[in-house]
A and B are shown apart, each in its own frame.
Chain A
Amino acid sequence: MTVKYTSDHEWIDLPGDGDIATVGITTHAQDALGDVVFVDLPAVGATLAQKEVAGVVESVKAAADLYAPVGGTVVEVNEALRADPSLANSDPLGAGWFFKMKLSDQTEFDALLDATAYDELVKNS
């Protein structure tokens, strides 16, 4: 299992032996947004290019786009998150995941930030 990060504050978890990755927003992102009250998730089956808008996260105070960390096809969305958007705050790296996608290009994943690089980015932001 490898978790990588984008500079737009998404995380993507790709199991070592598969090509289906799980995507969510980072702890830093949910903290900056505040109380999440609504999520707009992509349609299952949608094909997304890397950095294409995949959904929207809205807090009491602000709205933010969620981008596809890599290109691929959406294979599942988190209906529990749609029903209870506060999962994005309470468990952003677990039960608050947004969608799963089948990667189209492993090299896009490989080029994303690792945990150390992402922590550094957040520290300097």
Chain B
Amino acid sequence: MSATAPLLTTPLHALHLELGARMVPFAGYDMPVQYRGIMAEHKQCRESAALFDVSHMGQVRLIGDDAARALETLVPVDVVDLAVGKQRYAFFTNANGGILDDLMITRRSGDLLLIVNAACKDADIAHLRTHIGHRCTIQPLPEQALLALQGPKAATALARLNADVAGLTFMTGGSFELAGASCFVTRSGYTGEDGFEISVPAAQAETLARALLEQPEVEAAGLGARDTLRLEAGLCLYGHDINSHTTPVEAGLTWAIQKVRRPGGARAGGYPGAQVIENQLAHGAHNKRVGLVGLERAPVREGTKLVDSHGHAVGHVTSGTTGPTVNQPISMAYLPVNHAAPGGEVYAVVREKKLPMRVSAMPFAPHRYHRG
């Protein structure tokens, strides 16, 4: 996108302005970074329910009998056995085992619904068309908006619009009528909280958003809080914590590679970079994504150099801030495996000072998914 290209807007753009959002350019869109403040919105999500506009993300249908098998040639994830109504986290890989994008896949009765990152969606669609376009229909859904309602009271609020949504459990989805709109709802999100993602026709998105904001539990939240929430939840942000040079093994995402796709499994390999990833699964990788907790109060942000006690460079921070819930500096970083054990200490070089940080298990704030 050129520097002069106008920013795209989501169907909720006017509502964001009406709510007094501070707007920023993000992935080519004019998006709300905050309304009342990141801290307040973060706490709103942890304590009650927060509504996020994530319509900038890509929604894509894969249609056809061969779609699941075809998609398995691009992701190291079990798609074929994914039951109708079930959702799964996945990633596109490249020939070196690097991650091209991470995504959510939901099997619906007539298709697979993919949710991909905003900044990657054009490349993802081209990738899908190039490699599996001859095996299934690739249908982007730009006419659909996407709302995320997240937080411990999200289910209470959403159930007032349709009581049946309460029947969903974490990583399942279904079709529901909400505020007069035919929606596809999954019980998922990217905040570590219980919650829902709602695919809604763009023309009805504002009506639905207003209906949700009328619920006493719900307040609007922006991308700023979304970022601090996902960091506390230990979830990777594409382009920062994972990218085309980081493998799923290095990123600690091997849990997303089901047994059936691993060596010895019925449908092992067959995706880009399988050899690299299988080798790392067997022998480990040199580097590993870790969580770090700051032992002093200064936040340690993306790009900060990490050194050992002798001052030797060992890695760098991929994202970091002060976690509003945990109230301490938290970061993610890649470290050599011999520095990556929980409890180990490294030093972040911040403004020429060496700040101690301790390798910590993630998530930093406990997940509270509704597993039924």
Tell me if chain B binds chain A. yes
Q: Are A38 and B321 in contact, CB atoms less than 8 angstroms apart?
A: no
Q: Are A34 and B351 in contact, CB atoms less than 8 angstroms apart?
A: no
Stretch from B7-15, B192-200, B210-218, B294-302 that touches the partner = B294-302
Q: Are A34 and B37 in contact, CB atoms less than 8 angstroms apart?
A: yes
Q: Are A60 and B321 in contact, CB atoms less than 8 angstroms apart?
A: yes
Q: Can you name 27 A-B pairs with beta carbons within 8 Å?
A: A34-B37, A34-B38, A34-B39, A34-B224, A35-B38, A35-B324, A37-B297, A37-B321, A38-B297, A38-B322, A40-B298, A40-B351, A56-B298, A56-B351, A58-B299, A58-B322, A60-B38, A60-B39, A60-B42, A60-B224, A60-B228, A60-B321, A60-B322, A60-B324, A61-B33, A61-B321, A63-B299
Which residue of chain A has the shortest Cβ distance to B223 in the bound complex?
A: A61
Which residue of chain A has the shortest Cβ distance to B228 in the bound complex?
A: A60
CB distance from A33 to the nearest CB of B (A): 10
Write out the residue numbers on chain B whose beta carbons fall within 8 Å of the beta carbon of A59.
38
Q: Are A58 and B298 in contact, CB atoms less than 8 angstroms apart?
A: yes
Name the interface residues of A53-99: CB closer than 8 Å to any CB of B: 56, 58-61, 63
Q: B34 contacts the other chain (Cβ, under 8 Å)?
A: yes
Interface size on A, residues (CB 8 A): 11
Q: Are B299 and A38 in contact, CB atoms less than 8 angstroms apart?
A: yes
CB distance from B194 to the nearest CB of A (A): 23
Write out the residue numbers on chain B whose beta carbons fall within 8 Å of the beta carbon of A63.
299, 301
Main secondary structure of the interface of B (DSSP, over half): mixed
Per-residue contact bits, chain B 317-332, to A (CB 8 Å; 1 contact, 0 not): 0000110100000000
A61 to B33, CA, bound (A): 10
Interface size on B, residues (CB 8 A): 16
A114 to B336, CA, bound (A): 54
Which residue of chain B has the shortest Cβ distance to A86 in the bound complex?
A: B39
**Can you list the 10 inter-chain pairs with the closest CB atoms, starting with the nearest?**
A35-B39, A37-B322, A60-B38, A38-B298, A38-B297, A58-B299, A60-B321, A34-B38, A35-B38, A35-B37
Cross-chain contact of A34 among B34, B297, B298, B299 (Cβ < 8 A) = B34
B-to-A contact residues, CB < 8 Å: 33-34, 37-39, 42, 224, 228, 297-299, 301, 321-322, 324, 351
A66 to B297, CA, bound (A): 18
A56 to B42, CA, bound (A): 24
Known: A40-B298, A61-B321. 16 other contacts (CB 8 A): A34-B37, A34-B38, A35-B37, A35-B38, A35-B39, A40-B351, A56-B351, A58-B298, A59-B38, A60-B39, A60-B224, A60-B321, A60-B324, A61-B33, A61-B38, A61-B224
CB distance from A63 to the nearest CB of B (A): 7
A58 to B321, CA, bound (A): 9
A61 to B38, CA, bound (A): 8
CB distance from A86 to the nearest CB of B (A): 8
Most-contacted residue by chain B among A37, A38, A40 (CB, 10 A): A37
CB distance from B27 to the nearest CB of A (A): 17
A37 to B322, CA, bound (A): 7
Write out the residue numbers on chain A whose beta carbons fall within 8 Å of the beta carbon of B351.
40, 56
CB distance from A69 to the nearest CB of B (A): 20
A38 to B350, CA, bound (A): 13
A38 to B327, CA, bound (A): 11
A25 to B301, CA, bound (A): 22
CB distance from A41 to the nearest CB of B (A): 12
Write out the residue numbers on chain B whose beta carbons fall within 8 Å of the beta carbon of A34.
34, 37-39, 224
Write out the residue numbers on chain A whose beta carbons fall within 8 Å of the beta carbon of B37.
34-35
Write out the residue numbers on chain A whose beta carbons fall within 8 Å of the beta carbon of B224.
34, 60-61
Write out the residue numbers on chain A whose beta carbons fall within 8 Å of the beta carbon of B33.
61
A61 to B223, CA, bound (A): 11
CB distance from B25 to the nearest CB of A (A): 15
Which residue of chain B has the shortest Cβ distance to A34 in the bound complex?
A: B38
Write out the residue numbers on chain A whose beta carbons fall within 8 Å of the beta carbon of B38.
34-35, 59-61
CB distance from B35 to the nearest CB of A (A): 12
Per-residue contact bits, chain A 34-55, to B (CB 8 Å; 1 contact, 0 not): 1101101000000000000000
Write out the residue numbers on chain A whose beta carbons fall within 8 Å of the beta carbon of B301.
63
CB distance from B204 to the nearest CB of A (A): 32
Which residue of chain B has the shortest Cβ distance to A37 in the bound complex?
A: B322
A34 to B41, CA, bound (A): 12
A35 to B322, CA, bound (A): 10
Which residue of chain B has the shortest Cβ distance to A32 in the bound complex?
A: B22
A2 to B298, CA, bound (A): 33
CB distance from A36 to the nearest CB of B (A): 10
A63 to B38, CA, bound (A): 15
Which residue of chain A has the shortest Cβ distance to B42 in the bound complex?
A: A60
A61 to B351, CA, bound (A): 17
Which residue of chain B has the shortest Cβ distance to A62 in the bound complex?
A: B301
